[in-house]
A and B are shown apart, each in its own frame.
Chain A
């Protein structure tokens, strides 16, 4: 069973090689490989989760080198759950991107690069979840980051380069900070292995411990987009293609949260920086949701709600009780799913109506009822309407806060209730503008161009004030008033447009919605599992024993 542990990292990496080898010549085969591998990873993750739950943490020392020399991979309950949720979500997003075919702007988005980069991203995420030492965690981060650089700047258009440069520089900086923290830890303790560090860090002077803890927290807070370190996120995510944004928003920030959870419990028990974490959590919640209130573009708005809801998980980590950790883990699983779904729906809306600017769309509830349902469920889930999983996560966290009873805990309980209400306001605003109100004239009937009879040279008649590659004005949407799949003319060329959404796109979105609902239906098993995971995190001994073998 232990031999299965490295596979979630190895399989996608091997598939990347195949994918690159086949390249663009055998597109179908490339797609088949990606889907098959991610399905296999999903199956493996479920197996690992169940095995870790039944037998305790599974460990592998690669090359059979004992720690601290070798690389250690560990799958315990927390990593098992994270792996399962992340691989389910990545599989859905992959199917979605196949349906989209990246066809919205084919010339700007080379598919041949998308598949290998996406697989490497999955490998990097799995590697961070399984890493049993700081160095391997760093390597996992870097694998993930380099793939995300490529995905974020896919096609290298003006806005993407502009948004990507901020992201790349911030990531570069946080990697340097991480490496410095690793150097400090190694100099102080002589190891980078989590299980050994758990024993050795406690013997260090308090100042050194706090310094290392603060540096690691800063690194992970940049990744997780906790408030004072979150300014890069709303500017860099929304310009990427919809599936890329969805998987980034769902997964990459949660990787930061996972690392915080892991290091705070295993390496630095005793919760010395709990108040600081709770203050940051409150600031993230409030600032993030107020930012979302002010936005009129759906993608930017969702980016701000993402920052806001990271605050809930940090709240759980700051409380540091068993119930709080359990609530935070439920919330991570819930939020990965729901945030990904919402970004996928944003992509569907963009496909359907040509834009995600809320002031320019309307009447979608009537024009596309299925789309409306696909938006409504995760939106309510995000706001935390009972009985959906968002409610369960928030309830768990608030109960833990009340049980803690401290001043900060109470402030956070009130803050999270207010944030929840404001989230409801934001989602209701989106619902009213995009779906419920009457369509603005000339909007309801627009669709995407399916085919054109000749190469479009629509650059000539755009007037002098349109500048190519602008970030300011939206790229001129290639759509035209039309009914369902009818021919029309665009700049003198006959084109066929459709308002139908491709089946894989809606299917994948529906699958993520169903996954979100499954958390509600199976809330009992889920919460008892997360409770056991939290107990394991707090106990520390099972992890340390599994790695060091005593």
Chain B
């Protein structure tokens, strides 16, 4: 069987691009990734049919030289299925945007809860140790200690609310269309007080 290198190379690039897009958070990007990777795989299916043969006209073409029709049928089926799934994913992304203001795929709730809990506990223990280690506790230090404890509790609460509601849209067009970059969250998480969820 002869295989066209250009078909294979194109399929590989499409699959790679699609794969990378599918690893991101926003559903719209995942959708684009799925469509691109799906096209790449359809090319692979076509490549499985061997090299292009003669046109399948009714008379005058020996049947042995006609292109294998089966991979084309498989690819057509796959295209139709991808279309349906794309429509469903689009609807889901839109619904997610309606409900939570973003179309992000959220973490498993337990994962988030466990990670945040251990983080907050670590900080709390550190804080307590430092507080106990100081010999003379001034009133000012005590209030600061309590402030810090309160801040940690607020952070847990804020996360619960945030996770419940999803992150708010920022109003930035590209942000909303393509979804936010992970760096933005890092910046957002550094100042939990400014979080929209903190009051909830």
Question: Which positions in A face B, CB cutoff 8 Å?
Answer: 68-69, 135, 138-139, 142, 146, 149-150, 153, 156-158, 161-162, 164-166, 168-169, 172-173, 175-176, 179-180, 182-184, 186-187, 192, 231, 235, 464-465, 467, 469-473
Contacts and interface: CB of A to CB of B under 8 A. Distances in A.
A380 B17 CA distance: 50
B45 interface: yes
A192 B37 CA distance: 22
Contacts of B48: 183-184, 186-187
Contacts of B30: 169
Interface of B: 1, 3, 22, 27, 30, 34, 37-38, 41-42, 44-45, 47-49, 70-71, 74, 77-78, 81, 84-85, 88-89, 92, 95-96, 99-100, 105-106, 108-109, 160-161, 163-166, 200
A153 B166 CA distance: 17
Nearest to B197: A467
A153 B96 CA distance: 11
Given A146-B84, A149-B88, A471-B109, A186 B78 contact: no
Contact of A168 (B3, B89, B109): B89
12 contacts: A68-B70, A139-B81, A146-B84, A146-B85, A161-B95, A168-B88, A176-B41, A180-B44, A186-B74, A192-B70, A467-B165, A473-B164
B47 A183 contact: yes
A169 B22 contact: yes
A472 B38 contact: no
B22 A471 contact: no
Given A165-B92, A186-B70, A467-B161, A172 B34 contact: yes
A388 B99 CA distance: 46
Nearest to B89: A168
Given A168-B88, A179-B45, A158 B37 contact: no
Contact of A135 (B41, B74, B100, B161): B74
A155 to B, nearest CB: 10
A158 B34 contact: no
Nearest to A135: B74
A190 to B, nearest CB: 8
A171 to B, nearest CB: 9
Nearest to A141: B81
Contact of B163 (A146, A180, A471): A471
3 closest Cβ contacts across the A-B interface? A470-B164, A187-B48, A183-B45
Contacts of B3: 187
Contact of B92 (A158, A161, A182, A467): A161
